[in-house]
Structure 1
Amino acid sequence: MASLLPRGVRVASLKTCLKGLPTRNVRFLSIPRQTSTHFPSTPILPSLWRTQRAQQNIWRTASTLVTPLRHTSNFFTSATNPAALASAAQSLPNSPASTHTTSDSASDLPPVSGPAVTRWLFLSAGLVFAIVVVGGVTRLTESGLSIVEWRPITGTLPPLSQAEWEAEFDKYKTSPEFKTMNHSITLEEFKRIFFWEYLHRLLGRVIGLGFVVPLTYFALRRNRLTPGSLPFYSFLALLIGGQGALGWYMVKSGLRDEIITNKEVARVSQYRLAAHLSMALALYVGMLSAAFSTRNDWRWKTQGSWSKLTGAEPWKKILENPAVRRFKGAAMALSCLVFLTAFSGAFVAGLDAGLIYNEFPMMGEHIIPPISELLSPFYSRASDQSDLWWRNIFENPTTVQFDHRLMGTTTYTATTLLYLSTLLHPTLRATLPPLTRHLAMSAFLMANIQVALGISTLLYLVPVPLAAAHQGGSVLLLTTMVALMASLRAPGRAARLWRAATVGKRTSERTQSAQSFTSLR
């Protein structure tokens, strides 16, 4: 021991300096020839120096302190102060003192929603996407009026016996749809249309429970949600309940007795249908944007990654660029245009406007129909025809289809221009994150697919598979725009605070270690 330790340093001091050191394998610098690597077995540390392997582990651990000093002889000859050795050991990242400081500082930081919240939001958004597609199939198969009552709790189970099916069929026979259109329908045919409406309502219940129950759990558990997010999630939960009530309000418009009296077509109001679809899309956008934001904040907090870029806050320089700010504004406007185009598609569906002018790009003999068809006095109800414009826009099938064509073409053109700007604009090409450029390309490709689906649906007289794919395509295009906007969102305040604390802690540890080793030299 005399050849290893300086005079006056006890073995207890060596234990103090070795306590808490990292145990990872570190390349050990060459030891001066005058320093012996043999630790004789002593009664002081019999369990530590018993085998040759334990001796090697001790030297690997001690090399963490020795490496910055370049020479072990300098370390053992100058470190005659046990307090200095203990200070050097405690300044390392794995020491108990450092861990205690980290836990104290973390308790002062706001929580950041973790991966569990992200998965919950993505799953909820996926269920909303599914119910939008199923709702489209329900409308296309004319199944939406097959269930003539609203029972949110007791209507969870479908009819299970023949008697229950007969009772449900008898209820349907009282509806205007049966009396005016489906009076010759059989029980087996009724079961087919009942299935789609039942599945649509069942998915609504699953979405409600799948969102509210986890939200309650996260709200009751401390430090599970980012501050300020709970009111927004609660608003989404209320929106889910309102969506169910709005759905029944829409169905009631197709069960009016006036339909039989006036010999109208038994279908729901196009206004209520558009409101129902718009609320579903708003729910989807809210859940999806929250999921992207939560995931991005967690990545920034734990990995320092933003839109797949790493470094010292790379988002600041990018988002402050004037060209990027203009691009972000254009992307926001395009997202709103995609939403409005889907909204106009609800009026096309509600009025069966896809069954007229089944050609493209012409509408009859012209690209634009005659003004007498677009603004027909037939749809005006005011004596002075003051409602001529807006009633034709929302109630005239010819005008509704023309508006949808116009908005779809505008959306496609705007998406193409947005994508081309990422390729041709030198500042955007050099500044935008690669993820944003890839999402702009995805939006352009999805817009092409959506246009092809829309034209095919029109030319083939609205077949169910094509029309359902067209409705789902509108949601996918909206998804790419939401993801694109999320890629240009700055990390949240809580994530920035965590990242700053992490970087500051590492800098402080390096400074303390450097100062401790300097004092030992």
Structure 2
Amino acid sequence: MATSASVSNLFKPAPQTRARPLAIARWLELVALLVVGIVVVGGITRLTESGLSITEWNVVSGILPPLNEAAWQTEFAKYRLTAEFRMESGPAGMDLAAFKFIFFWEWFHRILGRVIGLAYLLPLIVFAARRAIPAGYGWRLAAMFTLILGQGALGWYMVSSGVGNTNLTDVSHFRLSAHLLTALFLLAGLVWTSRDLRLLARDPAARSAPLTAGAALVAGVLFVQLLLGAWVAGLNAGLAANDWPLMNGRLLPEVDWSQGALWTVTHDPFLLHFLHRWWAWVAVAALVWLGRAVRKTDRFASIAVHTAFGTMVLLGIATVMSGVSLWIAAAHQLVGALTVAATVWAMHSNGVARQGGVTA
């Protein structure tokens, strides 16, 4: 009872004189940058097929990479038991140097996850102990930390789909999409909450921005595009064609519907590649509307949205035509995360304008 009481006391509303909304907003923006970074590293991990190189999840001992030759050989031996190694390493196999390369990206991805957890938890404890969290925000900040913990669990759940299955040479694209979209949802929450807190720093009477119907529709359209992109990545469907706007010289790809419509729509790499290409233009139309809707009240957000989706489309085309070049594809994922951040910023500004306020 005493422990639960002490925890609840941490999140008691701060007196107005002790609240630090601007400092909390800046902290959340820093964490948001770290989330963008891990999304990019996660993309590189997928593109280099590094995700299954570490076959165990050790929260503490996994912080350090192998430190001697024997330890490297032990990790390499574990990887050689996976279906990915047995079925995709080729006649020549993989040497230790190549294994170290893919191990690095998965290890770095996991380390960034731990850094984000600490970068969020430690300041949260300090702000809560000092009762610097404004009224109404304690639950939201606690919820985002729970999301960070859940993201780590989802990451291992995703990896386990490839490590524990003798038939899969990659992780489940459904679990990969859940892992990526949860990270982007966390990014959206960080951006939205930081914008609310900046408003509060300017005006202690400011209310949280509402989500308008139009902004919610834009979010739904963008969600579909991000989901399709995650499935394309998980199924290596970007390699289904390397020409644009046609696919292998055809406007419509050849699709095998023999396994049923549901399976085809969620598994066929040619169809998913096609849908990701052309749903992008629905997303562009929605983002143009949002950018224009906030142009007069928040010009920066409008410019950011237009710049982000324009760059993302060009990088998407370049990714296809380059045969999924590692760094072009990674840049595409980077700008995808920035598009989410810019979109959420504009959605927030749209809500502020609707309630007659001034953007931060």
TM-score, with length taken from structure 1? 0.61
Paired with 2:266 and 2:327, the residues of 1 have a C-alpha distance of 26
Q: Please, which runs of 5 or more residues in structure 1 have no aligned partner? A: 1-106, 307-314, 320-324, 381-387, 423-427, 497-521
Paired with 1:335 and 1:271, the residues of 2 have a C-alpha distance of 20
Out of 167, 177, 185, which is 2:94 matched to? 185
Alpha carbons of structure 1 residues 490 and 448: separation in structure 2 relative to 1, 3 Å: closer
- Specify the SS of the correspondent of 1:132: helix
Counterpart of 1:347 in structure 2 is 231
1:115-194 mapped onto 2 (5 Å cutoff)? 115-182=22-89, 184-194=93-103
Out of 186, 196, 199, which is 1:293 matched to? 196
| Deviation of 1:190 (Å) | 1.1
Counterpart of 1:398 in structure 2 is 270
Q: 1:372-406, CA deviations, whole angstroms, 9 ceiling, x for partnerless residues?
A: x1x611xx2xxxxxxx2221111111111121112
Deviates more, 1:460-469 or 1:114-123: 114-123
1:225-240 mapped onto 2 (5 Å cutoff)? 225-240=133-148
| Deviation of 1:295 (Å) | 1.5
Counterpart of 2:186 in structure 1 is 283
Alpha carbons of structure 1 residues 298 and 108: separation in structure 2 relative to 1, 3 Å: closer
Counterpart of 1:114 in structure 2 is 21
1:49-448 mapped onto 2 (5 Å cutoff)? 109=16, 112-182=19-89, 184-222=93-131, 224-259=132-167, 266-301=169-204, 329-369=213-253, 373=255, 376-377=257-258, 380=259, 388-419=260-291, 421=292, 432-433=296-297, 436-448=298-310
Q: 1:200-242, CA deviations, whole angstroms, 9 ceiling, x for partnerless residues?
A: 00000111111112112222222x1111211111111111111
Report how many aligned residue pairs link the two structures: 339
| Deviation of 1:447 (Å) | 1.5
Q: In structure 1, give the amino acid aligned to 2:80.
A: K
State, as a whole percentage, how many aligned pairs show the same letter. 38
Paired with 2:64 and 2:113, the residues of 1 have a C-alpha distance of 14
Alpha carbons of structure 1 residues 274 and 108: separation in structure 2 relative to 1, 3 Å: closer
Paired with 2:25 and 2:146, the residues of 1 have a C-alpha distance of 20
Q: In structure 2, give the amino acid aligned to 1:396.
A: D
Q: In structure 1, give the amino acid aligned to 2:283.
A: T
Alpha carbons of structure 1 residues 221 and 256: separation in structure 2 relative to 1, 3 Å: same
Alpha carbons of structure 1 residues 179 and 369: separation in structure 2 relative to 1, 3 Å: closer
Q: In structure 1, give the amino acid aligned to 2:125.
A: T
| Deviation of 1:490 (Å) | 4.2
Counterpart of 2:328 in structure 1 is 466
Paired with 2:165 and 2:236, the residues of 1 have a C-alpha distance of 21
CA contact (8 A) 1:347 1:400 kept: yes
- Specify the SS of the correspondent of 1:159: coil
Q: Please, which runs of 5 or more residues in structure 2 have no aligned partner? A: 1-13
Paired with 2:98 and 2:15, the residues of 1 have a C-alpha distance of 63
| Deviation of 1:367 (Å) | 2.4
Paired with 2:125 and 2:82, the residues of 1 have a C-alpha distance of 40
| Deviation of 1:300 (Å) | 2.4
Paired with 1:108 and 1:213, the residues of 2 have a C-alpha distance of 21
- Specify the SS of the correspondent of 2:247: coil
Counterpart of 2:11 in structure 1 is none
Q: Higher relative contact order at CA 8 Å, sep ≥6: structure 1 or structure 2?
A: 2
CA contact (8 A) 1:328 1:488 kept: yes
CA contact (8 A) 1:351 1:397 kept: yes
Computing the radius of gyration over CA atoms, which structure comes out larger, 1 or 2? 1
| Deviation of 1:180 (Å) | 1.8
CA RMSD between the two structures: 2.7
CA contact (8 A) 2:82 2:166 kept: no
Paired with 1:243 and 1:257, the residues of 2 have a C-alpha distance of 22
Q: In structure 1, give the amino acid aligned to 2:265.
A: I
| Deviation of 1:182 (Å) | 2.4
| Deviation of 1:115 (Å) | 2.5
Paired with 2:337 and 2:61, the residues of 1 have a C-alpha distance of 31
Alpha carbons of structure 1 residues 178 and 477: separation in structure 2 relative to 1, 3 Å: same
Deviates more, 1:344-353 or 1:397-406: 397-406
- Specify the SS of the correspondent of 1:258: coil
Alpha carbons of structure 1 residues 282 and 257: separation in structure 2 relative to 1, 3 Å: closer
| Deviation of 1:108 (Å) | 7.2
| Deviation of 1:333 (Å) | 2.0
Q: In structure 2, give the amino acid aligned to 1:361.
A: P
CA contact (8 A) 1:112 1:297 kept: no
Paired with 1:252 and 1:457, the residues of 2 have a C-alpha distance of 28
Alpha carbons of structure 1 residues 112 and 368: separation in structure 2 relative to 1, 3 Å: farther
TM-score, with length taken from structure 2? 0.86
1:29-44 mapped onto 2 (5 Å cutoff)? none
| Deviation of 1:364 (Å) | 3.9
Paired with 1:174 and 1:364, the residues of 2 have a C-alpha distance of 36
Q: In structure 1, give the amino acid aligned to 2:225.
A: T
CA contact (8 A) 1:110 1:226 kept: no
